[in-house]
Amino acid sequence: MEERIERIKQQLHSHGYKLTPQREATVKVLLENEEDHLSAEDVYLLVKEKAPEIGLATVYRTLELLSELKVIHKINFGDGVARYEFRAENAAHHHHHLICIQCGTVDEIVEDLLGDVEKMVERDFNFEITDHRLTFHGICHRCKAESESE
């Protein structure tokens, strides 16, 4: 945890930015809730518990800054709010999302399912892929278990 903050601090410094207390609080919240896909509002409320004087705008500015530095990733599941998650350190390491249409939970698949598909797309469409997004919508194992036990 500490060393990850230290790393982010260095990334900020190398681009001429500072790790202010507000930014540090925001990063901590993101680290502590790495499993979830927090919205800016979520982050704001959690940060406010540690540092009540922080403003929503600062959280937005920090999230945008961290996105620019590619520390976090801004994702959009189509529900009108942006969510944020840490980026994998090694660029090749992709992951995907399973969104439950019943309970709304977002699970992750950390395996890279698209290696072959990407190669095919690059070749057949002469398209140089820099990133991809893959989400599955459906019913998660929890909701399936629940409906079966009824």
Residue 66 touches DNA, criterion: CB under 7 A: no
Rounded CA-CA distance 73/3 in Å is 20
Closest C-alpha among 12, 31, 130, 124 to residue 86: 31
- In the complex with a second copy, the residue whose CB is nearer, 31 or 117, is 117
Binding site for a second copy (CB under 8 A): 74-76, 78, 98, 101, 107, 109, 113-114, 117-118, 120-121, 125-141, 144
User: How far apart are CB 150 and DNA at their closest, in Å?
Assistant: 31
Residue 104 touches DNA, criterion: CB under 7 A: no
Rounded CA-CA distance 30/120 in Å is 35
Residue 147 touches DNA, criterion: CB under 7 A: no
Count of beta carbons in the 10 Å neighbourhood of residue 12 = 19
Stretch that binds DNA, among 3-11, 48-56, 117-125, 127-135 (CB under 7 A): 48-56
Question: Of the candidates 9, 28, 36, 60, which one interacts with DNA according to CB under 7 A?
Answer: 60
> Phi, psi (5° rounding) for residue 8?
-65, -40
Residue 115 interacting entry, from a second copy, DNA, none, C-beta within 5 to 8 Å by type: none
> Phi, psi (5° rounding) for residue 127?
-120, 125
Rounded CA-CA distance 150/141 in Å is 15
Residue 138 interacting entry, from a second copy, DNA, none, C-beta within 5 to 8 Å by type: a second copy
Give the alpha-carbon dihedral of 142, 143, 144, 147, to 10 degrees: 130
Q: What is the CA radius of gyration of the chain?
A: 18
Partners of residue 86 on adjacent β-strands: 72
User: How far apart are CB 106 and DNA at their closest, in Å?
Assistant: 15
Question: Of the candidates 4, 17, 87, 121, which one interacts with DNA according to CB under 7 A?
Answer: 17
**Which parts of this chain interact with DNA (CB under 7 A)?**
12, 16-18, 20-23, 39-41, 51, 53-58, 60-62, 64, 80-82
